[in-house]
A and B are shown apart, each in its own frame.
Chain A
Amino acid sequence: MDLSIIAETFPLYLQGLWTTIWLVLASLALGLALAVPLGIARTSRNPLINGPVWAYTYFFRGTPLLVQMFLIYYGSGQFEAIRASILWPLLSQAWFCALLAFALNTAAYTAEILRGAIEAIPHGEIEAGNAIGMSPWLVMRRIILPGAFRRALPAYGNEAIFMLHGSSVASIITLIDLTGAARMVNSRYYAPFEAFLTAGLFYLALTFLMVAGFKWLERRWFAHLRPRPA
């Protein structure tokens, strides 16, 4: 092990760390915003609403993230209509394609997590809401969604960590995230152990931070379920 390589390239890793962090946070935020309406739509009994969302989640959960990213990054250029559209300045950039693929991917997993959480809601809670005269929208906002978010939290924590790990494929379409930094260091110094172990430690630290963050959230959201101090 040559630690001087790591010291020399440390700024590159910090830059990569920053890219990984914003890419993951932006994907998770966009994905969650998409997943809430999709998860609600998945619980619909109307096949015209439920069906397309089912197909969407089936596709994105059944294919590798790498292939989804390639479809957007390389695939979008195949169509003249896309290249002529106003979206092309965005779709021709690696960061946007990675972000879009990640957000669509995590939205599919999160929508299914939310569907499960919504379907697990005790029926009495909804009846109680109806009985005191809440509109369907108010029942959704005050009763169904808060309960569903709480029940979904542990599974969502796992999904967020999968997203962090999945984001490493962004390096394959030239982004310099943590993995990209490690690949650059490896090709420049031919030092695979130094390069990839350093990135691995960064990911490990990020993973532990996320686990701790979700533990803290769980303690807060489930505070009313904890045994009271005697």
Chain B
Amino acid sequence: MLDLHGYGPSILDGVWVTVEAGLVSLVLAVVLGVLGALAKLSGSRPLVWIAEVYTILIRGIPDLILMLLIFFGGQVAVNNVMTWLGSDEYIDINPFVAGVLTIGFIYGAYMTETFRGAILAVPAGQLEAARAFGMSRWQVFWRILTPQMIRYALPSFGNNWLVLLKTTALLSVVGLDDMVRKAGLAAGATKQPFTFYMAVALIYLVLTTISVLLLGWAERRYNVGVRRAV
């Protein structure tokens, strides 16, 4: 196997940072995605417009550019606000917080499309029946729409998660101590870059494989009771 020259534990720390950054970003992306989808389907002009601009802009610009913009731009903006408030303290943006906010914001746009399609796939009669039954809007959303929508959203949600997880590698560029950066440090010290980047690549493969298995299980679970055509 790969000889990691004692850098194994350090890389393992990086794995947790990668997984944490991925999962926290995912939660943010799902929240933004549901809000974006509801905005697009709300029928209110300004809300639809904001959601459209959000998804078009984000999906037309590379992740790395958005990341650098939010990381370096956020740094300048925060310190401008601090100066304006009369403080001369210099604030360094935490790469984890900035990274998670950026990735969550980016994948929120992709999730918006995922959930918009999934919500549209739920038959309107279901929602009308629930309203006629006297359920509140919230109850309709939570008890009728969500459980049925998840089934339609899962395949595209899974794809987005896999892309999101791989995107976290870019956070090593803005200084997050994820496994790619840890591997880079170890590679510099040992002069064995291939060994360490290959180790990281294999860990990504393990993470994506676990994700694919879990997503397959979830899809089977949410499709219980649905007759397959073929």
Contacts and interface: CB of A to CB of B under 8 A. Distances in A.
Q: Is chain B found bound to chain A in the same assembly?
A: yes
Interface of A: 58-59, 62-68, 70-71, 74-79, 164-169, 171-172, 179, 182-183, 186, 190, 192-193, 196-197, 199-200, 203-204, 207-208
A71 B201 contact: yes
B64 interface: yes
Contacts of B184: 70
B173 interface: yes
B69 A192 contact: yes
Nearest to B172: A66
A193 B194 contact: no
Contacts of A168: 62-65
Given A75-B198, A196-B72, A203-B60, A70 B193 contact: yes
Contacts of B162: 62
Contacts of A179: 62, 64-65, 68
Main secondary structure of the interface of B (DSSP, over half): helix
Contacts of B204: 62-64, 67
B47 interface: no
B118 to A, nearest CB: 19
B167 interface: yes
A207 B59 CA distance: 9
Nearest to B209: A62
Contacts of A171: 64
Interface string B172-193: 1100000010001001000111
B187 A74 contact: yes
B156 interface: no
Nearest to B165: A64
B205 interface: yes
B61 A200 contact: yes
B72 A192 contact: yes
Given A64-B167, A66-B180, A165-B63, A193 B69 contact: yes
A78 B195 contact: yes
A196 B69 contact: yes
Interface in B200-220: 200-201, 204-205, 208-209
B64 A63 contact: no
Given A172-B173, A186-B68, A193-B69, A59 B193 contact: no
A207 B65 CA distance: 14
Interface string B17-59: 0000000000000000000000000000000000000000100
Interface in B133-186: 162, 166-167, 169-170, 172-173, 180, 184
Nearest to B184: A70
B123 interface: no
A83 to B, nearest CB: 12
B62 A74 contact: no
Given A182-B68, A200-B61, A78 B166 contact: no
A66 B170 CA distance: 7
Nearest to B190: A78
